[in-house]
Structure 1
Amino acid sequence: MSTAVPPSPSWNPAARNCPSRVLFTTVGDRWNMLILLALEDDDRRFGDLKKHVDGISDKVLTQRLGVLTSDGLVERTAYPEIPPRVVYRLTDLGRSALTPVHAMFTWTVEHMDSVVAWQEQH
């Protein structure tokens, strides 16, 4: 049985003061999209995520994981071991964001040649 709340017809990310704009920005962030993709097939520790998201700094990865966790897209599990082990995994909500993230990733790859050609001509 689903516990999902039906969407409010009043959510509009284009509206300046709508709280949905924050989530829209979170999911649309380049680093967040790459983190979500990196977590698609496996749970990962911080260092492993950093390897999969080429170019991200420790600071930015920490910040983005905090946002994704607080929004319920990523789950952080700390294991009481020595040394401490922390693992990140997608939640069901985070997994549901993969559809639009994959679409954006695919669109980018498929249209990059056209964008480069346009930039060279203009």
Structure 2
Amino acid sequence: MQDRIIGPSESARMVETIVGCKWSLTVYQLLAQNINRPGEMVRSVDGLTTKVINQCLKRNVEFGILKKVVYPESPPRVEYEVTPFGAKFMTILDALKELQDEIQRAQ
């Protein structure tokens, strides 16, 4: 008799959640372009809404990929930055992109 397969680990759930959100990869591209404020992000991408960006950013903060920085100003200013863990995570996404490019070239 085979052992039962254990469901996805926390890291697999994280990858599935982040990659499953079509806006996460866009957020990473924006951060790479030094666009790190939610309002700027919404203005930079057609179809992106404040509600969706806030949900996406919140998820990324919960997983430790991004860090939320709140400045004590009036009006309040909020920026997001990639954590050291997030930088490691993004290397996995880069590898997946390279793999996808290789698959497309082979077709």
CA root-mean-square deviation: 2.8
Q: Structure 1: where are the runs of 5+ without partners?
A: 1-13, 116-122
1:69 is displaced (CA, Å) by 0.5
Aligned partner of 2:15 in structure 1 is: 24
- Corresponding position: 1:77 with 2:54: no
CA contact (8 A) 2:60 2:66 kept: yes
Q: Tell me which amino acid in the other structure corresponds to 1:55.
A: G
TM-score for the superposition, normalised by structure 1? 0.64
CA deviations over 1:13-50 (Å, ceiling 9, x no partner): x9535333321213313211211221124261111122
Change (3 A) 1:102 1:53: farther
Aligned partner of 2:51 in structure 1 is: 59
TM-score for the superposition, normalised by structure 2? 0.72
Aligned partner of 2:29 in structure 1 is: 37
The SS at the match of 2:74 is coil
Change (3 A) 1:70 1:47: same
Q: Structure 2: where are the runs of 5+ without partners?
A: none
CA contact (8 A) 2:35 2:41 kept: no
Change (3 A) 1:97 1:111: same
Q: How many residues align?
A: 102
